[in-house]
Structure 1
Amino acid sequence: MKMQVNPNKNGKVQHAVPCCLFRGGTSKGLYFLAEDLPQNADERDQVLLRLMGSPDPRQIDGLGGAHPLTSKVAIVSKSERDDADVDYLFVQVVVDKAQVSTAQNCGNILAGVGPFAIEKGLVPSSVSHTDVRIHMLNTGANATARVETPGGMVNYQGNAQIDGVPGSAAPIFLDFLNIAGSSCKKMFPTGNAQDVILDVPVTCIDNGMPVVLINAQSFGLTGAELPSELEANEALKANVEAIRLEAGKLMNLGDVSNKTVPKMSLISPALQGGLINTRTFIPHRVHDAIGVLGSVSVATACVLSGTVANELIQKSFDDSAMAIEVEHPTGQFTVEMEVSGSHDISQFYVKRAALLRTARLLMRGEAMLSCE
């Protein structure tokens, strides 16, 4: 761990921790080289809590943005694996609790890992674009990020637009590899396309992110409700959480009362021309969009016959490449997929899942860690 020491006027010191602030997809977080943080996980977590300003709903004494989507961390190092250039550990820093989680991946923060790795010299850049092979330590899955690098420099300006982010930026293409069952050991961890939990039909799936899909109508909802409306509905939140706790056991995740997975996605008919509409609990706040890997899991559930998603959209899929448009409160995700065996859960296989994201470097410098 490398830290510089800066005395304040009272003679005490603050430690300077090198980092960058990136917007990755529709999230924002601090990006660190692993060597700049403590190697001991407990010490590292305490440092991250203090740097983010948790626990505090406003995170007023730290760099967090007072929301789960802006209280995230990427820890990156050069990989020793033959199939990866860098290792990436995602850390979710809870806003109002002294708690962090490494139980999940984050595909939005992943979008900034390629640019960060190039900026820090972990990966040599090419003359037009650079493919960064990323090993996601949280689950052991891999992804490849294609980053524009004209003249050997990361390009952040471009015409790519993603819903939930104003303006445009350079495209970053993410191609996900071996993500099925990343946290739950199986894509459909219960062995079923559909289960019933507390009298509610659900689909439990993990194709990169553990997600429980529920038809919004099961709770008397249309699916068009705003995130703020859902968060204000205490009875709904209690019901969703009760199902989540039971689903965690069935999904091989154990007691999830203090975990950020599985995510809970309420699905409904598309509103804006997509294939399906979503409202996602992450797990206790409602996402203003939907997570990258969460959208991959939802899209995957749409394809397999017998899931609550497939029953909702009432569409059959042949074994082929396809684009699944997943709507969310601020727009939609297009997930490119190639599958086989979509009519039989025992033969169902996802050959490829990919999508477009953008990222932007917002700040690089040092975060100041106050002394206790």
Structure 2
Amino acid sequence: MLMWKLDSCRRRQRRGNKETRVAHQLHGQWYRGGTSKCWLFANDEMPADRVGIAQALAAAFGSGDERQLNGVGGASSTTSKAAVISPSAIPGIDISYLFAQVGIGASGVELTSNCGNCASAVALYAIQNGLVRPHGEITQVRMVNENTRSVLVADVATPDKRIPSNGAETIPGSSMPGVPVNVFFENVDGASTGELLPAGGAMTQLAFADDFVGASCIDAGAPACFVEAAELGMTGTESVAETRLRLGELIAIRSAASVAMGLSAEDEVPSPAVPKIGLVAAPADYTSISGETIPANAYDISARMVSMFDPHPAIGITSAIALARDAFVEDSLVNSIIADTVLAPVDESREISIRIGTPVGVISCQVQLDELGHVARLGVRRVARRIANADIDLPLVG
């Protein structure tokens, strides 16, 4: 049998009727959030401890198989995600959620990071499940990510104060529409490590293949490491397939960055989720996954990110937040690329848009500054939609 079981106080009935539920069954809701898909669970559906949660999710997703054939996982880094959601007792916070990146081909479940795409789904879930009542054309959902203690604020479209079921907006990376959700990160500096620059400075030299490579290591949104594409003989406009050919080098640099940032010891295997690793470069024309030509003047900086040991088809939102925050670190890599073009013309609104060229197209990150010119919060426009409301039968093993 599974090594965990639901407590006797857990509900055994299907929501909305009186059908008996069995203990090896989870009720979940499947959402698309941005360019990710996430299974979302109420906290009372899950074991009380994180070990039990990880075991339950690994079983539900079929994580031991590379295809996740025996579970509900999507067998990719952007579709093997989950969150456990609960009302919050913190003043000014509506809900809290524990994010999980579920292993693919391995039973491990990563519980140390965050996902901005899934956060957009969590916000819509909160409204659709009565945790937050709609109160205008836009309903604000304030959330705490339990993994990093980061505060996120989501503005969800609720036309005529109604609970939305569908939306008409699209974003790069998905041609299908969803409910508009703008996700903002507050107080992002050092959320995971306690330091904005955990490697000690704006630029760090990382040992790599009997040489050194310069990198910006930053903890904002998520711990991330950015390397100039040219240092590896690349352009920063590579396709996903072309980036995959260089995975060995990128993963090696990521391991060095993990040690430099204090996330792992030299003799430890780094977490599969953090730090994020990516290539950045000045704009150049390129062709997106859909075949669209993206001209250099349509964006400010290119990024090719790796997620869970595979090239990301777009860019994770926490990676986008880290990149945008790095733009405001003097002498950092991102700052050196865009400082003269993007950061100079700040108007009275104190808002700056940083346009990131990714494999799926251009994704913009909004940066709001305070009256002193410091970064106050960073946000990205997403869309979300509920796909399914389901009971998941867990396999009996052992």
| Length-normalised TM-score, structure 2 | 0.84
Q: Does 1:65 align with 2:81?
A: no
Partner amino acid, structure 2, of 1:207: A
Unaligned runs of 5+ residues in structure 2 are 1-5, 15-21, 286-293
Partner amino acid, structure 1, of 2:94: D
> Which residue of the partner structure matches residue 305 of structure 2?
280
CA contact 1:274–1:326 (8 Å) conserved in 2: yes
Deviations 1:154-208 (A, max 9, x none): 3243342210011322311112111111112122222311111121010001211
CA contact 1:34–1:77 (8 Å) conserved in 2: yes
Deviations 1:281-305 (A, max 9, x none): 1141110000111101112223333
Partner amino acid, structure 1, of 2:327: C
Deviations 1:45-92 (A, max 9, x none): 111001001111111110001101100001100001002110111000
Q: Does 1:202 align with 2:215?
A: yes
> Which residue of the partner structure matches residue 334 of structure 1?
364
Deviation at 1:351, TM superposition (A): 1.4
Cα gap change, 1:5/1:369 in structure 2, threshold over 3 Å: closer, same or farther?
Answer: farther
CA contact 1:325–1:334 (8 Å) conserved in 2: yes
Cα distance in 2 for residues equivalent to 1:133 and 1:309? 29
Partner amino acid, structure 1, of 2:140: D
Out of 223, 230, 234, the residue aligned to residue 221 of structure 1 is: 234
Partner amino acid, structure 2, of 1:148: A
Q: Does 1:324 align with 2:344?
A: no
CA contact 1:206–1:297 (8 Å) conserved in 2: yes
Cα gap change, 1:349/1:186 in structure 2, threshold over 3 Å: closer, same or farther?
Answer: farther
Deviation at 1:152, TM superposition (A): 4.5
How many residues get paired?
A: 358
Cα distance in 2 for residues equivalent to 1:239 and 1:328? 20
Deviation at 1:314, TM superposition (A): 5.6
Q: Does 1:51 align with 2:60?
A: yes
Out of 257, 261, 264, the residue aligned to residue 254 of structure 1 is: 264
Deviation at 1:364, TM superposition (A): 0.6
> Which residue of the partner structure matches residue 344 of structure 1?
none
CA contact 2:137–2:158 (8 Å) conserved in 1: yes
Cα distance in 1 for residues equivalent to 2:309 and 2:27? 31
Match of 1:143, SS state, is strand
Unaligned runs of 5+ residues in structure 1 are 7-12, 342-346
Cα distance in 1 for residues equivalent to 2:13 and 2:25? 6
Q: Does 1:292 align with 2:322?
A: no
Aligned identity (percent) is 29
Deviation at 1:126, TM superposition (A): 2.1
CA contact 1:145–1:175 (8 Å) conserved in 2: yes
Deviation at 1:348, TM superposition (A): 8.4
Cα gap change, 1:158/1:117 in structure 2, threshold over 3 Å: closer, same or farther?
Answer: closer
> Which residue of the partner structure matches residue 132 of structure 1?
141
Cα gap change, 1:52/1:203 in structure 2, threshold over 3 Å: closer, same or farther?
Answer: same
Partner amino acid, structure 2, of 1:262: P
Cα distance in 1 for residues equivalent to 2:103 and 2:145? 20
> Which residue of the partner structure matches residue 307 of structure 1?
332
Cα distance in 2 for residues equivalent to 1:153 and 1:91? 30
CA contact 2:38–2:121 (8 Å) conserved in 1: no
What RMSD over aligned residues (CA atoms) do the two structures have, in Å?
2.2
Partner amino acid, structure 1, of 2:365: V
Q: Does 1:240 align with 2:250?
A: yes
> Which residue of the partner structure matches residue 19 of structure 2?
none
Match of 1:68, SS state, is coil
Deviations 1:89-112 (A, max 9, x none): 100001111101111110000001
Cα distance in 1 for residues equivalent to 2:91 and 2:231? 47
Q: Superposed, which structure 2 residues align to 1:1-372 within 5 Å? A: 1=6, 2=10, 4=12, 15-198=24-207, 199-231=212-244, 233=245, 236-255=246-265, 257-270=270-283, 271=285, 272=294, 273-313=298-338, 315=340, 317-318=343-344, 320-339=350-369, 349-372=374-397
Deviation at 1:3, TM superposition (A): 5.7
Match of 1:218, SS state, is helix
| Length-normalised TM-score, structure 1 | 0.90
Cα distance in 1 for residues equivalent to 2:165 and 2:352? 28
Match of 2:255, SS state, is helix
Cα distance in 2 for residues equivalent to 1:167 and 1:68? 20
